Structure 1
Amino acid sequence: MSSIGRFVAAFALIAAALAIPGHARVLENGHFVFDPATGFAANGYDPVAYFVDGTIREGDPDYEARWGEVTWRFANEGNRDAFVRDPLVYAPSFGGRCPVALARGYPAEGNPRLWSVYEERLYFFYSQEHMQAFTEDPDQILAEARQSWNKQFPY
């Protein structure tokens, strides 16, 4: 491939990466919160269940998948398969960190038992107080959280 062709290909890749919505870039960089004792993301809870069932469900050891350098568990085969097909849809935003904490400048881990699905994205919160603060102005919190995330996790 000529140097011009390589330049065009590199430019196309960069343009495509920049076209990815902010929340998708947040999920792709592998900064996922996981339990160091088990290695599971979301404390072994099924990330798809938050969307499909509207509730928290424990994952089953028979239904696991690796993505983002961590292991995810699912309640059933269908949920696992949906996640594998499109993990960016189901994985918690900010790698499972609390958006309110991020907006305030620190990357606190979110608790999968304190959660919200907002505009088709899953968020975990550090505390009930943070969850309440999010409901009061989610768009502002998310804008500030993204800015903080990009400073703290630029890669």
Structure 2
Amino acid sequence: MLNISKSIIAAALVSGFATLAVLPGTAMAYDENSTAAINIDQQGVGLKGYDPVAYFTAKAPTLGNAAYSAQHDGVTYHFASKANRDKFTANPAHYAPQFGGFCAMGVALDKKLDGDPQAWKIVDGKLYLNVNKEVQKKWLEDVPGNLKKANTEWPQIKDKAPKDL
């Protein structure tokens, strides 16, 4: 049964890669060679410019504005408002995406895949991303199990380049 599940998930990941291949360049913002534990674009911006606080307050992905930005762990985050920026700076660990903004399902499978700000879920007060909504459907089938596996794998893969996994 476990092998069947892994096969289904692998197929979904392959489908996810195919989907990413046809999206604009920003969909593949992460660097396959980077050993950074946080997923950023070439300008050092996390979450592809989406406001991390808005997931919690507006309950929706919301593009931030560079005029309202803050840094945390060497990453620049953009916010939709000064109020959201201030909430973030007061408690960045609460709002920053888990697994550095990489795909939570990918981490559970020992991979560092780009996180899609549109494929998100807040679980136990933490923000998680997936590579796309199809992969997210698989992740949502067993969130506790997938998070347990991802939390076990993350320390071993967080400092590795995606291409090496």
- What TM-score, normalized to structure 1? 0.76
| 1:150 correspondence with 2:142 | no
Gapped runs of 5+ residues in structure 2? 1-35, 160-165
Between the two structures, name the one with larger relative contact order (CA 8 Å, sep ≥ 6). Answer: 2
Q: Tell me, what secondary structure is at the counterpart of 1:117? A: strand
Higher Rg: 1
Q: Deviations over 1:34-76 (max 9, x none)?
A: 111x321000100000000000111112100111101110000
Q: Deviations over 1:103-146 (max 9, x none)?
A: 11111121111111111110110122221112111010001011
Gapped runs of 5+ residues in structure 1? 1-29
Q: 1:104 aligns with which of 103, 109, 117?
A: 109
Where do residues 61-140 of structure 1 align in structure 2 (5 Å cutoff)? 61-140=66-145
- What code does the residue aligned with 1:35 have? D
Q: 1:34 aligns with which of 40, 52, 69?
A: 40
Where has structure 1 moved over 6 Å in runs of 4 or more? none
Q: Deviations over 1:11-56 (max 9, x none)?
A: xxxxxxxxxxxxxxxxxxx7211111x3210001000000000001
Q: Percent sequence identity over matched residues? A: 33
- What code does the residue aligned with 2:107 have? L
CA RMSD of aligned residues (A): 1.5
Distance in 2, Cα, partners of 1:102 & 1:39: 21
